[in-house]
Structure 1
């Protein structure tokens, strides 16, 4: 089979960038899938011999996990700590819900420079907040792996913009 060479190849997922409140988050190496599901509501009508019908009900959105190589960048840590501040001072933790953009580029797009080509697709996560933060990876003196920290985000919906 011939290799895929199209610049609009839908299976290439390595050219992306993540923005948090307009600033590019450096070193994000992996973003989990965006998903949503709609729960069915059962509706029963009197005299209907065929049984209940189903209508769309409550919408739920999957958590999004961002992984970043272990670095000196403390953006995720500060954001996670801001959410923790809700327990200490519920009135003092303002702005812990943030807007997150995930931008996808074609093979020729330069995601690393602001003057590069525009993204092919851009997704906006509405009012995201940190639900899980892994600050330090598992340490293993026998391994040669790269340290990865991760942050899981709950959000109130996403859209393609």
Structure 2
């Protein structure tokens, strides 16, 4: 198990608005929202024959919630390319799906206010189960067009190789 050192100078928790997502070794452009990383473990209840008045609980199967990524609509085709590996309308009868390389591992990095990486999570064997190319369009609205992908995954783990950085001290002029 990795050892964690604690930065005694930092008392505030990290903010949730400084992050980046990476897959295929490249940062993904414009991701503005990532849903929570959540794991749920089933509870298996059982009783012992000699103790009929109460049940015991043990951990069962663990499930990882899908992760949703959102970003503003641009010309960058990465969301659509990945989604098309699972289903590509118009590719021709019998070749709509190519499951050869539809899974990807991704990295989620969280930064402090100084722009230093403070946390990282590796998410394993992701694939696109839902793709929204365009939102509802409304000529009377004042909003950014958002596209999203929903990623099924087979688990995640914290990248313990990322140490807590020593935050810079800013000197007043």
- Which interval holds the TM-score relative to the shorter structure? 0.7 to 0.9
1:97 equivalent to 2:109? Answer no
Q: Of the candidates 25, 28, 51, which is equivalent to residue 28 of structure 2?
A: 25
Residue aligned with 1:59, SS: strand
Query: Aligned-pair RMSD on alpha carbons?
Result: 2.0
33-42 or 10-19: which moved more?
A: 10-19
**In structure 2, C-alpha distance between the alignment counterparts of 1:158 and 1:27, rounded to whole Å:** 22
**Preserved contact between residue 85 and residue 97 of structure 2 (Cα < 8 Å):** no
**In structure 1, C-alpha distance between the alignment counterparts of 2:23 and 2:31, rounded to whole Å:** 12
In the alignment of these two chains, the number of paired residues is 147
Q: Deviations over 1:53-107 (max 9, x none)?
A: 110001011111100111001001000000115x945984211110011000110
**In structure 2, C-alpha distance between the alignment counterparts of 1:136 and 1:59, rounded to whole Å:** 33
Q: 2:65 corresponds to which residue?
A: 62
Residue aligned with 2:83, SS: helix
Q: Residue 14 and residue 8 in structure 1: after superposition, are their counterparts in 2 closer, same or farther (change >3 A)?
A: farther
Q: 2:168 corresponds to which residue?
A: none
Tell which structure's C-alpha radius of gyration is larger. 2
TM, length-normalised to structure 1 = 0.84
1:80 equivalent to 2:83? Answer yes
Q: Of the candidates 141, 147, 156, which is equivalent to residue 154 of structure 2?
A: 156
Q: 1:132 corresponds to which residue?
A: 130
Q: Unaligned regions of 5+ residues in structure 2, if any?
A: 1-8, 160-173
- 4+ runs of 1 displaced by more than 3 Å? 6-9, 87-92
1:49 equivalent to 2:55? Answer no
TM, length-normalised to structure 2 = 0.78
Relative to its length, the structure with more helix (as a share) is 1
